[in-house]
A = this chain, B = another copy of it.
Amino acid sequence: MNIPTFIDVEKAHKVVAKYAHHTPVLTSASINEIVGGQLFFKCENFQKVGAFKFRGACNAVFSLTDEEAQKGVATHSSGNHAAALALAARMRGIEAHIVMPENSPEIKKKAVAGYGANITFCKPTLQARESTLAKVVEETGATEIHPYNNFFVIAGQGTAAKELIENIGEFDSILAPVGGGGLLGGTAISTKKLLPACKVIAAEPAGADDAYRSFYSKTWVPSENPQTIADGLLTSLGKRNFQIMLDKVDDVVTVSEESIVAAMRMIWERMKIIIEPSSAVPLAAILEKKVDVQHKRVGIILSGGNLDLGKLPF
The interface of chain A, by Cβ under 8 A from chain B, is 24, 45-46, 50, 265, 268-269, 272-275, 305, 309-310, 312, 314
- Determine whether the beta carbon of A272 is less than 8 Å from that of B272: no
Point out the residues of chain B lying under 8 angstroms from A50, CB to CB.
Answer: 272
- Determine whether the beta carbon of A314 is less than 8 Å from that of B309: yes
With A310-B314, A314-B310 already in contact, the answer to whether A305 and B272 are too (CB < 8 A) is: yes
- 14 A-B pairs besides A272-B275, A273-B273 with CB distance below 8 A are A24-B24, A45-B272, A46-B272, A50-B272, A265-B309, A268-B274, A268-B309, A269-B309, A272-B273, A272-B305, A309-B312, A309-B314, A310-B314, A312-B312
CA distance A311 to B170 in the complex (A): 40
Number of copies: 2
How near does chain B come to A27, taking the closest CB pair, in angstroms?
11
CA distance A45 to B270 in the complex (A): 10
CA distance A273 to B238 in the complex (A): 32
Point out the residues of chain B lying under 8 angstroms from A312, CB to CB.
Answer: 309, 312
6 contacts between A and B (CB under 8 A): A24-B24, A45-B272, A269-B309, A272-B273, A272-B305, A310-B314
Point out the residues of chain B lying under 8 angstroms from A275, CB to CB.
Answer: 272
How near does chain B come to A86, taking the closest CB pair, in angstroms?
14
Point out the residues of chain B lying under 8 angstroms from A269, CB to CB.
Answer: 309
CA distance A312 to B307 in the complex (A): 15
CA distance A45 to B269 in the complex (A): 11
Cβ-closest chain B residue relative to A302: B272
CA distance A171 to B25 in the complex (A): 27
CA distance A45 to B46 in the complex (A): 16
Point out the residues of chain B lying under 8 angstroms from A305, CB to CB.
Answer: 272
CA distance A12 to B213 in the complex (A): 57
Point out the residues of chain B lying under 8 angstroms from A274, CB to CB.
Answer: 268, 272-274
Point out the residues of chain B lying under 8 angstroms from A272, CB to CB.
Answer: 45-46, 50, 273-275, 305
Ranked nearest first, the 5 interchain pairs of A and B with the lowest CB-CB distance are: A272-B305, A272-B274, A45-B272, A309-B314, A273-B273
How near does chain B come to A155, taking the closest CB pair, in angstroms?
25
Cβ-closest chain B residue relative to A114: B30
CA distance A275 to B273 in the complex (A): 9
Point out the residues of chain B lying under 8 angstroms from A265, CB to CB.
Answer: 309
CA distance A6 to B268 in the complex (A): 35
How near does chain B come to A280, taking the closest CB pair, in angstroms?
13
CA distance A182 to B312 in the complex (A): 34
Point out the residues of chain B lying under 8 angstroms from A314, CB to CB.
Answer: 309-310
